[in-house]
Amino acid sequence: MQFLSRSRERGWGVFPDGWPGEVLHYVLNVWKKFRLPSSVRLEPRVTKLLVGAIRKQYESEGRDWFVTVEDPEWDESGKEISRTDIRFYPPGKQRHAVSFVFECKCLNKPQSNASKYVGADGMMCFINGKYGAGLPCAGMLGFVMDGDVPRAHRAVCKAIGKRQNSLQIVGQGDYRSSSVLNNHRWHGETIHQVSGSRFTIYHLLLRVRQKPSSDKIGNRSVQERIWGLLFAGSIFPFERSRRHNSPPPLLAIHSLRATDRQKFSKVPIAFSAGLTLG
């Protein structure tokens, strides 16, 4: 794909031509296949898993750039002053001199979290020069935890509107669609005046899709398996054992994984007498 229609969509003389747009679309393409374990709810863990998926894909494609997660920066005394969530480095001689930075935030968890998205540890990191100083653009990733992207979009737009002055937004103002992102309905951009120069923040609002639950075994839940065992006589084979004059065999529940055995208590069973769970 080419992103050369306007000068600010190329590389601004800093990045390779079209590379910022390539990074944005690459993240979107990886996200289409990305599935999050249901137990993961914290932004640092979501970010690390996403970076792992990105690395796996671009390494398999042999791309000449790389990505880091939670990359620290320090001052002259060696004291850490910042830690970016995701940093993409371009190919070529400029590999270590410039980078495309993403700051990440979870949205709708279930509170909107939009105030943090635009706040001191979100968009404001780029405005105050903590991240992306001297560069023409950067990105925000909003992980929409409940999947309701329209709701997240409304909340982010409202929060940006409330902080227009501190965010130093210029141009037509507010959050708007971006030609770099094919004028997508929910993804967009904001343009800011930072240290006398225009600075663009691209926004990707990403609907979280969860992996199928590990509690599913061959499309059957743990509870379904247990009920199947009950009615098959595997858990209560006492009558059958009496006819064969042999002691009852071990409960089939013991054959379940430890994590599944814990869920056995959630199955509504009226006849629990005689059961012994090991």
The model's pLDDT over 259-269, given as tens digits with 9 standing for 90+, comes to: 555 554 544 44
Beta 197-207 vs 137-144: how paired, if at all?
parallel
| Nearest by Cα to 51 from 189, 143, 180, 137 | 143
Q: Which H helix or E strand runs over 69?
A: strand 66-74
pLDDT of residue 188: 96
Distances (CA, A) of 150 to 27, 153, 244, 248: 20, 5, 64, 57
pLDDT of residue 28: 97
Mean pLDDT value across the chain = 79
What proportions of the chain, in percent to the nearest 5, are helix, strand and coil?
A: 30, 20, 45
State the average pLDDT over residues 229-233.
52
State the average pLDDT over residues 21-30.
96
Beta 100-107 vs 188-194: how paired, if at all?
unpaired
Higher-pLDDT residue of 137 and 76 is 137
Q: Are 114 and 158 in contact (CB under 8 A)?
A: yes
pLDDT level of residue 9 (50, 70, 90 thresholds): very low
Tens of pLDDT along 245-259?
A: 555 544 444 455 555
Q: Are 63 and 40 in contact (CB under 8 A)?
A: no
State the average pLDDT over residues 193-206.
94
User: 0.85 cut: is pTM over it?
Assistant: no
pLDDT of residue 65: 77
Higher-pLDDT residue of 94 and 87 is 87
Beta 80-89 vs 197-207: how paired, if at all?
unpaired
Domain boundaries, the chain: 7-207, 222-266
pLDDT level of residue 276 (50, 70, 90 thresholds): very low
Higher-pLDDT residue of 246 and 23 is 23
Buried-exposed string 104-134: b where 16+ CB fall within 10 A, e elsewhere: bbbbbbeebbbebbbbeebbbbbbeebbbee
